[in-house]
Amino acid sequence: MRWAFQASSQDRLTLRAIDRYRGLMTAPLLQIKRLSPLATIPAYHSHGAAGLDLHAAIDQERVIEPGCIVMIPIGIAIALPIGHEGQVRPRSGLASRHGITLPNAPGTVDEDYRGEVCVPLINLGPEPFSIEPGMRIAQMIVSPVTHCTIAEVEELGETERGRGGFGSTGAGAEV
């Protein structure tokens, strides 16, 4: 089901204010180096998209058989902003319609990595799936990272949940 949104005059004013605010924000700089002429520079597909689309930089179709993992090159290297990571995530349509996802979702691109960005795809569906040249295969979220100070301790503070793990909040069985 698709939802229709009928903006009132107040909503339109609010949306314009949000657009002005976004225009005032300084976005972190993501530097991209094209490594292959087959590469598509990542971009946001819509104004409100959270992820940059990543495209397959391949010269011919690659078939992913059910249960198999294939590493797909993106054809770029990146320099993430200091204090940020790239979170590579599946595209929801490929995952929900065909079972094409990432075996390590989300994958992490560290701030100091300068090699080619590649995406491991796994076919969890029942049929072979073809990756076409230039196809949007994943998305990357650029997100701030917090580094913690590490302290080894003898005891941890008590919580209501305690040592309850998988399913301990009422969703599953005892582990």
Taking only Cα atoms into account, the Rg of the chain, rounded to an integer number of angstroms, comes to 21
For residue 28, give the 3-state DSSP assignment.
coil
- Show contacts of 112-115: CB within 8 Å, 24+ apart: 113/78, 114/77, 114/78, 114/79, 115/77
Domain coordinates of the chain in residue numbers? 29-144
**pLDDT for residue 25:** 66
Neighbours of 119 (CB within 10 A): 22
Query: Of the ranges 16-30, 36-50, 53-67, 158-172, which is most confident?
Result: 53-67
pLDDT, one tens digit per residue, over 53-106 is: 999 999 999 999 999 999 999 999 999 999 999 999 999 999 999 999 999 999
pTM tops 0.95: no
Rounded distance between C-alpha atoms, residue 54 and residue 30, angstroms: 14
Which residue has 């005032």 as its token pair? Answer: 24
CATH 2.70.40.10 is right for the domain spanning 29-144:
yes
Is the pLDDT assigned to residue 3 strictly greater than 60?
A: no
